[in-house]
Structure 1
């Protein structure tokens, strides 16, 4: 198990099962095959069951677009998400193939799960010290960049600026370069005060 920065997991090992709960952050799993002890990852409201496989699990409970994501690199995993009357969802189950990703939304957002096939190298860019942003809300892009830096970026007007879309490849930890890049893209101003960078509308 390889953890990205700002990742919180809880591991429970018993004779019958191996369980990891991803509360936030991102983890890459390379699982040894053991039919007698299933390996289960719990993230948001989904359970991921794997045997002898490599996969990536991401938990972002505060994100606007995705509460979790599961990407299969090799092998096979089964993802189950329970429905409920409160959210109007049915129980869902997906058997994933290598190269597929299953993004899951927050309550009331993206009610149905849909598989896609992203570029795996983009999703594992953090292992190379990079952050790849692919048409994500500014608020989520800022949160992602802040995971890698001691100089946080803030948004002065979250409702307006936070909804702007961002794409690009950034160096993890370089908050200043990120702030100036998105400011140039969207016509914003950058202010640095008290050990913090803030994005403002002009």
Structure 2
């Protein structure tokens, strides 16, 4: 059982004892526990610890603090109560790192990381992600330099939560949304995407953007996904272009939290590109237009490109070859 799993379990226990508990949250927690025996054990230990510290009271609350404020601090105050639970479990160091109000947080290839900000907001980083956080009394800002992150924003009407990505910014106060920033491509693809899960956000042109694909602000409702494409300009650099709004199935977009990729009639080239995000053993396609036009469906474990390549080869009648430290899919 790792410290990160213990930290995540303590967050789940705290959220389930908070005012925002819902059936959706309960289902998500059960799914998290189902990931492994270590996840279930961590949840049980944190639950026991929560009960053990139920009578503990803060000693640093000013005498002038109202009873409502004390109750909020002791029951709804995720940061302090969670820190108590984590410390009791012997992994305070891991949690202290997660509570840094400012800083840069990253994940490597195939890694995921949960960050609990000082305001109670949760940021879950997917593979190969780089975000920069800065919290002030007036504003909470996060920059997604690369990768993908799920934001669960703590409500604070007086302090907007702003996520900058590419040439845009996502403005929220209390909501949940997914942001993905895609590296510049030689041709086509998305520059970035924003998917709203709960609440409401406004996506608008960044103040620093010289030019933008967003001619006007986009007000999103739950289930909406905004994608901005990218094209190669005359200077040879990729730039955002063509904003479009749709309503995709959400489960495949969040499947990475369960350690899998859900593919539904996806072009083989796109499927390979997605799986390569999670593995240091890249998959390449033989130079064949017919091969790239093949479609793939299924649920595959991320990070295991060998198994993915073998499964796809069997499904599509291809062969797998070892090449240049990676794998190549080719026709027979």
TM-score class, shorter: 0.7 to 0.9
User: 1:68 — aligned with what?
Assistant: 192
Equivalent positions of 1:12-27 (< 5 A) are: 12-27=134-149
Query: Paired residue for 1:154, among 252, 259, 284?
Result: 284
2:273 aligned with 1:143? yes
**Secondary structure, counterpart of 1:25 in structure 2:** strand
User: 2:228 — aligned with what?
Assistant: 104
Shift of 1:73: 0.8
User: 1:192 — aligned with what?
Assistant: 322
User: 1:4 — aligned with what?
Assistant: 126
TM-score normalised by L of structure 1: 0.83
Shift of 1:166: 3.7
**Secondary structure, counterpart of 1:33 in structure 2:** coil
Measured against aligned partners, the alpha-carbon deviations of 1:115-156 in whole angstroms (never above 9, x if no partner) come to: 211121211101111112344443432232122223321234
TM-score normalised by L of structure 2: 0.53
User: 1:120 — aligned with what?
Assistant: 250
User: 2:105 — aligned with what?
Assistant: none
Measured against aligned partners, the alpha-carbon deviations of 1:13-44 in whole angstroms (never above 9, x if no partner) come to: 23332211112211110111222321111112
Where does structure 2 lack aligned partners over 5 or more consecutive residues?
A: 1-122, 233-238
Measured against aligned partners, the alpha-carbon deviations of 1:99-129 in whole angstroms (never above 9, x if no partner) come to: 1111221136994322211121211101111
User: 2:67 — aligned with what?
Assistant: none
Contact 2:204 2:214 in 1 (8 A): no
Q: Greater Rg, structure 1 or structure 2?
A: 2
**Secondary structure, counterpart of 2:217 in structure 1:** strand
RMSD: 2.9
Instruction: Give the whole-Å Cα distance in 1 for the aligned partners of 2:240 and 2:143.
Output: 22
Contact 1:17 1:38 in 2 (8 A): yes
Q: Cα 1:23–1:14, aligned 2, differ >3 Å: closer, same or farther? A: same
Shift of 1:8: 1.2
Q: Cα 1:164–1:20, aligned 2, differ >3 Å: closer, same or farther? A: farther
Measured against aligned partners, the alpha-carbon deviations of 1:54-93 in whole angstroms (never above 9, x if no partner) come to: 11111112454222111111110001146x9978x56132
Query: Paired residue for 2:303, among 155, 169, 173?
Result: 173
Instruction: Give the whole-Å Cα distance in 1 for the aligned partners of 2:210 and 2:154.
Output: 37
Instruction: Give the whole-Å Cα distance in 2 for the aligned partners of 1:92 and 1:137.
Output: 32
Instruction: Give the whole-Å Cα distance in 2 for the aligned partners of 1:39 and 1:4.
Output: 20
Contact 1:157 1:201 in 2 (8 A): no
Instruction: Give the whole-Å Cα distance in 2 for the aligned partners of 1:71 and 1:121.
Output: 12
Relative to structure 2, which stretch is displaced further, 161-170 or 147-156?
161-170
2:267 aligned with 1:133? no
**Secondary structure, counterpart of 1:118 in structure 2:** coil
2:160 aligned with 1:38? yes
Name the structure, 1 or 2, with higher relative contact order (CA <8 Å, separation 6+). Answer: 1
Contact 1:151 1:196 in 2 (8 A): yes
Q: Please state which structure has a larger fraction of its residues in helix.
A: 2
User: 2:203 — aligned with what?
Assistant: 79
Q: Please state which structure has a larger fraction of its residues in strand.
A: 1
Where does structure 1 lack aligned partners over 5 or more consecutive residues?
A: none
